[in-house]
């Protein structure tokens, strides 16, 4: 949180400027994305901005945001720099854990963070048409959908979700112990395998995204959020 604000009444405008420039509360990430900022950003810079945002979040140093001001700033357009495909899990909302505000990132979400065609289409909109430079597939530890897939769970329409995660379960080999949710190492391996599979699915199912990545306009990367530490680890 910003700690500079309460003392601003008693300082000169120049001192306020110095506070801001020398590391006060107005970090660049607190500024709503503009068309110019989006166009100037490279995929690598987009990735770095997410890393820095998660670092602030994990350290308890998230940016103070004036949301009504951001509503006004984004009313006539949006210029998000990244797409973060994540699970629906209530513990990993991407905007919060990457310390972003309104208009900064697109966030498609589905249990188990896989990539059904509707979400791939949404990513094509977010990148080709709306200008985002980075696609992140964000899995997380202690994922109920992944555990359900490990156990072969079935229930209503959730069965369809679980079935989409089954290939990741099948592909994990060489982990000792039971191949169920009772084995944390197995669950972790399936979680990572599912993220990597989803990245490959996006490339395979979307010639648009694949070609954008090959031409350097876009990067598609995997990452895993740790619900115990608040930290995101990007996968190589």
Among residues 84 and 212, whose Cβ is nearest to Zn ion?
84
Q: How far is CA 119 from CA 88, 163, 198, 224, in A?
A: 13, 17, 11, 19
> Per rule CB under 5 A, is residue 223 in the interface with Zn ion?
no
> Per rule CB under 5 A, is residue 87 in the interface with Zn ion?
yes
Q: How far is the CB of 86 from Zn ion (least distance, A)?
A: 8
Q: How far is the CB of 143 from Zn ion (least distance, A)?
A: 3
Determine the interface stretch with Zn ion among 13-21, 50-58, 89-97, 183-191 (rule: CB under 5 A).
89-97
Alpha-carbon distance 222 to 196, whole Å? 6
Among residues 87 and 187, whose Cβ is nearest to Zn ion?
87
Helices 184-205 and 117-124: crossing angle, nearest 10°? 60
> Per rule CB under 5 A, is residue 199 in the interface with Zn ion?
no
The site string for Zn ion over 145-164 (x = CB under 5 A, - otherwise) reads x-------------------
- The runs of H, that is alpha helices, within the chain are 13-21, 35-40, 43-58, 67-74, 94-97, 117-124, 144-150, 158-171, 184-205, 207-214
β-bridge pairing 219-225 and 82-86: unpaired
List of long-range contacts for 92-96, beta carbons under 8 Å, 24+ apart: 92/138, 92/140, 92/225, 92/227, 94/138, 96/57, 96/62
Q: How many residues bind Zn ion (CB under 5 A)?
A: 4
Which DSSP string do the residues of 44-61 spell out, in sequence order? HHHHHHHHHHHHHHHTT-
Among residues 134 and 145, whose Cβ is nearest to Zn ion?
145
Q: How far is the CB of 96 from Zn ion (least distance, A)?
A: 16
Question: Which residue among 89, 100, 124, 192 contacts Zn ion (CB under 5 A)?
Answer: 89
Question: Which residue among 143, 149, 212, 221 contacts Zn ion (CB under 5 A)?
Answer: 143
Determine the interface stretch with Zn ion among 21-29, 84-92, 164-172, 185-193 (rule: CB under 5 A).
84-92
Q: How far is the CB of 174 from Zn ion (least distance, A)?
A: 24
Give the footprint of Zn ion on this chain (CB under 5 A): 87, 89, 143, 145
């Amino acid at each position: 949180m910003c700690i500079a604000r309460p003392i601003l009444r008693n300082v000169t405008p120049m001192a306020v400027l110095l506070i801001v420039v020398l590391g006060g509360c107005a970090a660049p990430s607190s500024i709503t994305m503009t068309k110019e900022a989006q166009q100037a950003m490279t995929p690598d810079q987009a990735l770095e901005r997410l890393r820095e945002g998660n670092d602030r979040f994990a350290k308890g140093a998230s940016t103070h945001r004036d949301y009504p001001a951001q509503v006004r700033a984004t009313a006539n357009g949006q210029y998000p720099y990244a797409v973060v495909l994540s699970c629906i899990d209530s513990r990993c909302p991407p905007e919060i854990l990457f310390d972003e505000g309104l208009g900064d990132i697109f966030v498609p979400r589905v249990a188990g963070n896989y990539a059904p065609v509707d979400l791939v289409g949404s990513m094509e909109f977010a990148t080709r048409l709306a200008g985002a430079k980075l696609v992140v597939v964000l899995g997380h530890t202690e994922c109920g959908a992944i555990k359900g897939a490990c156990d072969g769970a079935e229930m209503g329409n959730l069965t369809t979700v679980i079935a989409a995660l089954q290939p990741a379960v099948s592909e994990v080999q060489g982990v000792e112990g039971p191949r169920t949710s009772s084995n944390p190492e197995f669950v972790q391996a399936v979680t990572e395998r599912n993220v990597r599979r989803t990245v490959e699915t996006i490339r395979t199912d979307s010639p648009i995204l694949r070609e954008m990545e090959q031409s350097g306009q876009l990067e598609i990367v995997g990452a895993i959020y740790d619900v115990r530490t608040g930290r995101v680890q990007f996968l190589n």
